[in-house]
Structure 1
């Protein structure tokens, strides 16, 4: 592969990249979460007396979206003669999720064309009725940490709205959000008691033997999905450290890096994804404009974590 591959617009290449990116790789922690969510969902279906909740928090790129996407894949919407069945309702909370906005977000996710009309109470009532009609068995509220953007009074009302939704529907709720989500839930004792367990997802760590083993397994799994032939840089043990440095143990960041590296490989008509492809992709996706000594795949890399001011993972160590 040349050092400056030309990224074009080949439908064949883009289809291969899209197929690669569509795969949902679940390491042990994510699989465990999905098992727990499945148990909570079944409990809600068979014992609808008091809805349970679960909180999964962690930094961006740690796998929360992968969990949501997998749940939706396992239980897709389906059309029946007289209604749409929505086993898993995915809702992304807006940046200022007041009680009224939460109602709108729910109605919009359910396909209500009048999601912006009515009081907060009316919107919640309509959402609850639609959920029953659509056979919803699990509600996913993503970007839950946005509730922290509200002033204390509105925040309390928003949390009460989520609690009231559980009371009205008896449907389990999965809350997904950044690290700050745990403190938000704990500020409302009743909601906190309902949301058990509270799971904190962490990036992989090369300092922990089990995490390192899981990270290598993940790299091997990605390698096996590549639409190329021959051994890739992903299964070269000497690249484990650089790959970890390049994504800081975050599966989301790793996926973005591999997407661009695969494009460079295929457009460059190479037979395998190389370290050079990773070096090139890192400069364009993870750390644009970085110097050679700050690129983990460059021979001049100084080996220091990319957590300095202005570097990709500074916020994780701020």
Structure 2
């Protein structure tokens, strides 16, 4: 395997199992079989930017692909995921769902008709869970628009008796809290930053096991592990990036392992220092 192949493998997105993610994915899977009721359970997935929310959602979606039912010769799609529009906008939200389901739509179509078509399509596909990522975008609009958008979520959940999974930064909690009825239906699940403990060391072992290097790097040695944690500020996406850059540095310089001193040589700026770099220009 040449250097280019090794670097490509390192850069490929990989799923790393860890206990919180396994527990949350199990909980999400359980929602699929929840009996239909007038008050379906919903989950609000909250965490800092680049701390694994979107990766977790993508993993859950990959475990629940659309299928073809031979019984009724129709497609079934138990999970549908979309991203909240940059500001609370009903039309754009419905468009996102239609695009995700490869359903055509006309720009001139009236909002009521589009809403009805989305509802009927989700019902036909037997959707059990609707995921809305980046839900904190709701706060980008005026209070009136926020209320209208959240009413759309309530409408779909009530009409179809499906569970909602909303994900976002800490502002996502504030976004949902603007509607008391909706906030009471959501159970928050927080993805915390990583700390220096055995779970973190297991995470490092998982990352190291996927590197195409011949020699062990020993990420879990205390000094090495603490240095990675400090640089990444405990964010799993940043931990991944630090390891990626250091492994690529090793390969480009003909090493078969990553060493602690390489962390000082990679082009990496910790999240909290990135604004400072711009302000110094």
What is the TM-score with the length of structure 2 in the denominator?
Answer: 0.88
2:6 to 4, 13, 22: 13
Match of 1:103 in 2: 94
Q: Which residue of 2 aligns with 1:62?
A: 51
Aligned-pair Cα RMSD in Å:
2.4
Which residue of structure 2 aligns with residue 251 of structure 1?
A: 236
Q: Which residue of 2 aligns with 1:310?
A: 275
In the TM superposition, what are the counterparts of 1:133-148 in structure 2 within 5 Å? 133-148=124-139
Matches within 5 A, 1:16-27: 16-18=9-11, 21-27=12-18
Alignment partners' CA distance in 2, 1:172 and 1:217: 32
2:97 and 2:129 mapped to 1: Cα distance? 13
What corresponds to 1:33 in structure 2?
24
| Deviation string, structure 1 residues 263-315 (Cα, Å, up to 9, x no partner) | 2223333211222443333xx2435xxxxxxxxxxxxxxxxxx7468359xxx
Match status 1:126 vs 2:126? no
Task: Give deviations 1:192-214, integer Å, cap 9, x for gaps.
Answer: 1221x1122221134xxxxx221
Which blocks of at least 5 consecutive residues in structure 1 are unaligned?
1-8, 207-211, 288-305, 313-318
Q: In the aligned structure 2, how far is the partner of 1:240 from the partner of 1:270? A: 19
Q: Is 1:204 matched with 2:194? A: yes
Q: 2:64 aligns with which of 52, 75, 78?
A: 75
Whole-Å separation in 1 of the counterparts to 2:272 and 2:269: 12
Cα deviation, residue 235, structure 1: 2.6
Name the SS of the counterpart of 2:117 in structure 1: helix
Matches of 1:235 and 1:171, distance apart in 2: 43
Distance 1:115 1:285 in 2: 45
Separation in structure 2 between the aligned mates of residue 251 and residue 115 of structure 1, nearest angstrom: 41
Greater relative CO, 1 or 2 (CA 8 Å, sep 6+): 2
Unpaired runs of 5+ residues, structure 2, are none
Out of 218, 230, 254, the residue aligned to residue 269 of structure 1 is: 254
Distance 1:194 1:117 in 2: 34
How far does the alpha carbon of each residue in 1:168-219 deviate from its partner, in whole angstroms, 9 at most, with x for none?
Answer: 2111110001101112212211111221x1122221134xxxxx22111111
Which residue is equivalent to 1:217? 202
CA–CA separation in structure 1 for the residues paired with 2:153 and 2:139 = 14
Equivalence for 1:299: none
